[in-house]
Amino acid sequence: MSEQQDFTKKKLWGGRFTGQTDPIMHRYNESLSYDKRMWSQDIRGSQAYARALVGCKILTEEEKDEIVSGLEKVGQEWSQSTFQIAQDDEDIHTANERRLKELIGPVAGKLHTGRSRNDQVATDMRMWLMEEVELIQNFLVELISVMVQRARQEVDALMPGYTHLQRAQPIRWSHLLLSHATYFASDLARLRSLIPRISVLPLGSGPLAGNPFAGLDREALAKDLGFKSVGSNSMNSVSDRDFVVEFLMWFSLTAVHLSKMAEDLIIYSTAEFGFVQLSDAYSTGSSIMPQKKNPDSLELLRGKSGRVFGQMAGFMMSLKGIPSTYNKDLQEDKEPLFDAVDTAKDSLQIATGVMSTMTIFPEKMLAALTPDMLATDLADYLVRKGIPFRETHHISGSAVKMSEDKKVPLSSLSLEELKTLSPAFEADVERVWLMEESVERRDAIGGTSRRAVLEQCDRLIREIA
């Protein structure tokens, strides 16, 4: 058997094992089928480690160059989809090291000196997630920007605001949009605050006790690989998956916010409301009812929030009973993380697409506004006449009952009829029934007046910068 053939038969941990691995166990144990997406991070991490081993006098400059160059060739095979996976490749780390030895020979065996797959995999995952979070940030910023742009363009559209899904008070359509955009701006702030806790270098921790070779400069390693800090405890570094949990928690909440927005738009797109219509690009038809235009994009956004939360809860249960330090249970970190990242990127882009192509119908929104929604404005009118709100609330409620008993809109009550409820009513009460004025009176910070809404737009743009 040649040296190359012998190498493919060996596992990194195989020295004391002489029996064959059960094929089912091999399949159960392997992670290459999904962790191969970290090939680039694994190669760059190994190249940086090779450079660091020169300082330990484990590698000469020539050996380092040979390893770095060999890893570059391995990376080219991955990028060109020509990498040949061997039967005994358990994960991306063993696959790359095996291929490196095939390319450059025994010197490849020096690369793993002082390094464990424990600190290697943790490093690769953090590097991979840092890059993905950068993309997710960009998608989130784009979504918020589109929502703010719509809010500015459609600031004059008025619609009912709802509580308990009952018509409550008139608002601007833009105010509703920005309520969701504000959630997303908070999500962006939380994601940005997570980055320093992802960007902690585990490499140089060994299997758990630290690297035994003098001269290994972990701070230089961190700088080489773009990490913000170095893991301060080797036992913690190799087993810490809090960054995975935090990302899953982050996206669980962000997915809830996407779901809440989707629910609003689903409701408002129904024939009963008719406030908005999705573009064909984000809708589907029915297999039997030709008239249907289903908001599947929004329903999927709503539905995926449950899956994301389930993955987070499942991984938390995997973590809770693990003793120090590395245990194979931690291999369960990758699939939920990978899936959550993919779902986050897709969901944010879908939401942006929906938001940028959706049509609104301001005339239908305006037609849904009814005078009874101004009952609070009627009470506020009397407050401005010097009557305490608790009393004016009761008077306004009596006016609502009067209109119901007479089966007329609240705005149709005559001044004489209103005066039977309070002598404070005067002819200027007619201005209470102007929807635009009702909206404009809510001019405090965060209100739904035109000025306040445009101020919200400006603030959100500053926050996402």
pLDDT digits (tens, 9 = 90+) for 332-377: 999 999 999 999 999 999 999 999 999 999 999 999 999 999 999 9
CATH of the domain at 379: 1.10.40.30
User: Does 24 have pLDDT greater than 90?
Assistant: no
The verdict on 339 and 266 lying in the same domain is yes
Name residue 137's amino acid. Answer: Q
The verdict on 66 and 183 lying in the same domain is no
- Cα 175 to chain centroid distance, Å, stands at 23
The pLDDT value recorded for residue 1 is 40
Closest CA to 448 of 144, 239, 168: 168
Strand ranges inside 256-306, DSSP E: 276-277
The verdict on 223 and 251 lying in the same domain is yes
User: Does 455 have pLDDT greater than 50?
Assistant: yes
User: Does 290 have pLDDT greater than 80?
Assistant: no
DSSP symbols for 386-411: T--HHHHHHHHHHHHHHHHHHTS-GG
Q: Does a structural domain hold residue 456? A: no
Q: Does a structural domain hold residue 447? A: no
User: Does 49 have pLDDT greater than 60?
Assistant: yes
Q: What percentage of the chain reaches a pLDDT higher than 90?
A: 90
Q: Does a structural domain hold residue 438? A: no
> Is residue 3 very low, low, confident or very high in pLDDT (cuts 50, 70, 90)?
very low
The pLDDT value recorded for residue 26 is 79
Domain final position from 84, 113, 142: 113
Cα–Cα distance for residue pair 278/354, rounded to 1 Å: 7
The pLDDT value recorded for residue 425 is 96
The verdict on 186 and 335 lying in the same domain is yes
CATH of the domain at 84: 1.10.275.10
Q: Does a structural domain hold residue 57? A: yes
| Structural domain range at position 60 | 3-113
Give the position of tokens 């005559």: 414
Q: What is the mean pLDDT of the chain?
A: 94
CA angle 82, 87, 91 (to 5 degrees): 75
Q: Which two tokens stand for residue 51?
A: 């450079």
Half-sphere exposure (Cβ direction) of 132: Cα atoms closer than 13 Å: 24
The pLDDT value recorded for residue 72 is 98
Residues designated catalytic: 164, 286
User: Does 286 have pLDDT greater than 70?
Assistant: no
Cα–Cα distance for residue pair 275/38, rounded to 1 Å: 45
Question: Which tens digit of pLDDT belongs to each residue from 311-325?
Answer: 999 999 999 999 999
Q: Does a structural domain hold residue 453? A: no
Q: Does a structural domain hold residue 460? A: no
Q: What percentage of the chain reaches a pLDDT higher than 70?
A: 94
CATH of the domain at 124: 1.20.200.10
> Is residue 159 very low, low, confident or very high in pLDDT (cuts 50, 70, 90)?
very high
Domain final position from 76, 94, 113: 113
The pLDDT value recorded for residue 300 is 96
Give the position of tokens 């929104």: 365
Residue 40: count of CB within 10 angstroms of its CB: 16
Domain final position from 350, 367, 384: 367
The pLDDT value recorded for residue 16 is 54
Q: Which two tokens stand for residue 265?
A: 């738009």
Question: Which tens digit of pLDDT belongs to each residue from 368-420?
Answer: 999 999 999 999 999 999 999 999 999 999 999 999 999 999 999 999 999 99
The verdict on 385 and 307 lying in the same domain is no
The verdict on 216 and 355 lying in the same domain is yes
Based on DSSP, count helices (H) and strands (E) in the chain, helices before strands: 19, 6
Measured between alpha carbons, how far is residue 374 from residues 169, 400, 415, 422 in Å?
7, 10, 16, 17
The verdict on 235 and 321 lying in the same domain is yes
The pLDDT value recorded for residue 14 is 52
> Is residue 6 very low, low, confident or very high in pLDDT (cuts 50, 70, 90)?
very low
Q: Does a structural domain hold residue 181? A: yes
> Which position has the higher pLDDT, 134 or 88?
134
Least confident of 21-35, 143-157, 215-229, 252-266: 21-35
Which value, to the nearest 10 degrees, does the dihedral of the CA atoms of residues 329, 321, 327, 129 take? 60
How buried is 291 (Cβ within 10 angstroms: 0-12 exposed, 13-18 middle, 19+ buried)?
exposed
pTM metric for this prediction: 0.91
The verdict on 198 and 291 lying in the same domain is yes
> Is residue 293 very low, low, confident or very high in pLDDT (cuts 50, 70, 90)?
confident
Q: Which two tokens stand for residue 391?
A: 């009393």
Least confident of 10-24, 61-75, 110-124, 179-193: 10-24
Residues 208 and 92 sit within 8 Å (Cβ to Cβ): no
Helix runs in 240-295, H state only: 242-268
Least confident of 156-170, 201-215, 279-293, 352-366: 279-293
Average pLDDT over residues 21-27: 80
Phi, psi of 375 (to 5 degrees): -60, -40
Average pLDDT over residues 62-70: 98
Closest CA to 158 of 300, 363, 424, 297: 363
Measured between alpha carbons, how far is residue 144 from residues 118, 183, 356 in Å?
39, 10, 11
The pLDDT value recorded for residue 76 is 98
Cα–Cα distance for residue pair 207/203, rounded to 1 Å: 10
The pLDDT value recorded for residue 22 is 77
- Domains in the chain, number: 3
Q: Which two tokens stand for residue 86?
A: 């061997």
The verdict on 52 and 65 lying in the same domain is yes
Residues 184 and 178 sit within 8 Å (Cβ to Cβ): no
The verdict on 406 and 337 lying in the same domain is no
The pLDDT value recorded for residue 287 is 61
DSSP symbols for 319-367: HTTPPSS--GGGGGGHHHHHHHHHHHHHHHHHHHHHHHH-EE-HHHHHH
The verdict on 183 and 314 lying in the same domain is yes
The pLDDT value recorded for residue 99 is 97
Phi, psi of 307 (to 5 degrees): -65, -40
Residue 348: count of CB within 10 angstroms of its CB: 26
Q: Does a structural domain hold residue 411? A: yes
- Kindly state the DSSP code that residue 30 receives in the 8-state scheme: -
Closest CA to 230 of 68, 50, 48: 48
Q: Say whether 178 sits in a helix, a strand or coil.
A: helix
What are the respective helix, strand and coil percentages of the chain, to the nearest 5? 70, 5, 25
The verdict on 343 and 423 lying in the same domain is no
